Amino acid sequence: PTGCMSFDGKKLTIDNKNCNHCMHCINLMPQALRPGTETGATILLGSHAPILEGAQMSWVMVPFMKMEAPFDELKELADNVMEWWAENGKNRERVGELILRLGMRNFLESVGLPPVPQTIQTPRANPFFFWHQADFDAEAAGRKYIKA
């Protein structure tokens, strides 16, 4: 789906940076490809099905996270999400509803996750854009982006 694979007639090349680990290629070509030794998980967050608003699909927060014991990276992410939710959530409010109320940008900055193209509300239709005023001013002045 991401176009991360190319074949020049002799060699199959996979651009790991653009691969979203959906396993679609393995399902289509089980004889040519198989899962590698690098294993992990895609972290999604925020789905639920309220009666009044209809079903809300989850967002991909982390496209790929290596899963190696003692899972410190996953535990740290879970702790950061729980802390943000405890500080900002209303009574009986779910994390997905809180993200909708306060915004994805606020969530990602508070939890310490970088914005990635996979973090979209509706696939192939409505990606979030993350602009800081300093970046906009720098681009308008002809300078490179400023890291905060």
CB 108 within 8 A of CB 148: no
Q: SS3 of 113, please? A: coil
CB count within 10 Å of CB 91 equals 4
Where is 6: in which H helix or E strand? strand 5-7
Task: Give pLDDT tens digits for 25-76.
Answer: 888 887 878 777 778 888 999 888 777 777 777 888 998 899 888 999 999 9
Question: Quick one: residue 137, left, alpha or beta (phi over 0 = left, psi -120 to 50 = alpha)?
Answer: alpha
Task: Give pLDDT tens digits for 112-132.
Answer: 999 887 776 655 444 445 567
Provide the mean pLDDT of the chain: 82
| Cβ contacts of 20 within 8 Å, gap of 6 or more | 1, 2, 4, 42, 60, 63, 64, 118
Between CA 28 and CA 22 the distance in angstroms is: 12
| Cβ contacts of 88 within 8 Å, gap of 6 or more | 98, 102, 110
Domains, in order of start, for the chain: 67-140 (3.30.413.10)
